[in-house]
Structure 1
Amino acid sequence: MKKNDINQLEDSFAKFVMLLSSLHSKELSTKIMDAILTIDGILDKYGIEKTAIAFNGGKDSTLLLHLFRICVTKKFGPDTQINAFFIRSNDEFTDLIPFVHKMASIYKLNLKELPGQMQHSLAQYKEQQPHIVAALMGTRSTDPIGKYMRSKIQWSDKGWPQFLRVCPLFDWSYCDVWKAIRGLSIPYCNLYDKGYSSLGECSKTTKNPALIIEGSEHRYKPASSLNDGNLERANRDQA
């Protein structure tokens, strides 16, 4: 994020509460606190040792990571490591990888990188970390995977490695996510300031035509300025 020095990030719960109180949307504040309560409930039930977060550097998982770090810091202290995994394709944006690594350092992640297809990678992670029960995910109900989920907390489908999928942002909209990221001053990948509203495989993802600056062929507005969440994935190959 251009205006934020992520090296100065402080995951203080008091700072979070102060920023939360400055938001001008009661609805958004309520959603944030609901997400916090969901995460707290999982940590109360399974503890930090049996909980992990899926982090891929995208906007949703970045917001979720920030909220998760706040909960972990409040409950266990600022030096507590967070279990995390990154399912890394062979076609990632070059800007994304260093961002993931930098965030892993700042947010104190015990990050496992898992190359390949999702189901295989999750099986690999389960084999490496058999004690992990709950997996926090940035999935929303409008995502391709999310639309098949019945609720924000449910077990993996039959035939998949068994994790309790926990999606605190499940009922959030695209605009909710950006309002929270902006309002809470959360650092994010710079690709979102270059016309990308959704990040997938590099070869199948272009800049969103809905973000092009009028009268310009090559200049784009940041992803946070996209008001129609239905166009979030207009830059992605939907095949």
Structure 2
Amino acid sequence: MANPDSLRSRFGKPDADRVYQLAHSPTPTQLSLQIKHALEIIELAIVRFGVDGLSISFNGGKDSTVLVHLFAAALYRNSSIPTSSEPEPNLKISGLYIRCQSPFAEVDEFVNHCQTIYNIDLMTVDNSLKNGLGAFLAERPSIKAILIGTRATDPNGGSLTDFDPTDSDWPSIIRVHPILDWGYSHVWEFLQKLEVDWCKLYNSGSAFHSLKHFQIDL
């Protein structure tokens, strides 16, 4: 089990290599195929929008934690860094955290922890989804697309595709859904197999049900 307080200090090239090794396993599993497909979507987004035009919606939930780990791996694989295990400025991830009302303190602590792990330049907004996204794009006009950890089984997730524009009455951006076809079991298998830190509230039975559908939908 990953320990968000002590296990990981910084995502580096060895972590990225481990993700890609699992994705291209000589004996493919359902998880390895899911990882491979997710990485292909992220890599396509990098090609289409560029690193500077791509961001992530991150809220500390299990799905967005999987997604930021995949995104960081793809950035390393598509960078020119040959051996370094430390992030460089061009690998900084642009992120949006729309904080829910009365968030658990542990969630904010974990989000801050992940900012360090993944080198996220995170804009935190206490506002509605629509207004928060608008404020984010106004401050970062180079952003053209945002990675979101929505899965098909989430509310409103069944009609989504890998790349979807926002509705006409929303701030204009392309929503990218790399883990849309992942199941609940894939998420937890990924976190455990790759020893990814997750919010410790998931380990608490009393808080689990509050976090079960912890997802930002744009």
Give the shorter-chain TM-score range. 0.7 to 0.9
Give the secondary structure class of the aligned counterpart of 1:86. Answer: strand
Corresponding position of 1:14? 17
Q: State the Cα distance separating 1:69 from its structure 2 match.
A: 0.1
**Overall identity of the aligned pairs, in %:** 29
Q: State the Cα distance separating 1:188 from its structure 2 match.
A: 0.5
Residues 156 and 8 from structure 1, CA distance in 2 versus in 1: closer, same or farther, beyond 3 angstroms?
A: closer
Give the secondary structure class of the aligned counterpart of 1:158. Answer: coil
Which 5+ residue runs of structure 1 have no aligned equivalent?
199-204, 207-231
Give the secondary structure class of the aligned counterpart of 2:105. Answer: coil
> Are positions 1:60 and 2:63 aligned together?
yes
Match of 2:169 among 145, 156, 159: 159
CA distance in 1, matches of 2:22, 2:154: 28
- Greater relative CO, 1 or 2 (CA 8 Å, sep 6+): 2
1:225-236 matches, cutoff 5 A? 232-233=212-213
> Are positions 1:131 and 2:132 aligned together?
no
Give the secondary structure class of the aligned counterpart of 1:146. Answer: coil
> What is the aligned-residue RMSD (CA, Å)?
2.3
Which 5+ residue runs of structure 2 have no aligned equivalent?
82-86
Residues 197 and 173 from structure 1, CA distance in 2 versus in 1: closer, same or farther, beyond 3 angstroms?
A: farther
CA distance in 1, matches of 2:10, 2:22: 16
TM-score, with length taken from structure 1: 0.77
- C-alpha contact 1:20 1:184 (8 A) present in aligned 2: no
Greater Cα radius of gyration, structure 1 or 2: 1
Q: Which moved more, 1:177-186 or 1:23-32?
A: 23-32
CA distance in 2, matches of 1:98, 1:23: 38
CA distance in 1, matches of 2:173, 2:19: 29
CA distance in 1, matches of 2:13, 2:191: 14
Q: State the Cα distance separating 1:59 from its structure 2 match.
A: 0.2
Counterpart of 1:125 in structure 2: which amino acid? F
1:31-46 matches, cutoff 5 A? 31-46=34-49
- C-alpha contact 1:19 1:183 (8 A) present in aligned 2: no
Give the secondary structure class of the aligned counterpart of 2:60. Answer: coil
Q: State the Cα distance separating 1:16 from its structure 2 match.
A: 2.6
Residues 197 and 175 from structure 1, CA distance in 2 versus in 1: closer, same or farther, beyond 3 angstroms?
A: farther
CA distance in 2, matches of 1:73, 1:25: 23
Q: State the Cα distance separating 1:168 from its structure 2 match.
A: 0.5
> Are positions 1:2 and 2:3 aligned together?
yes
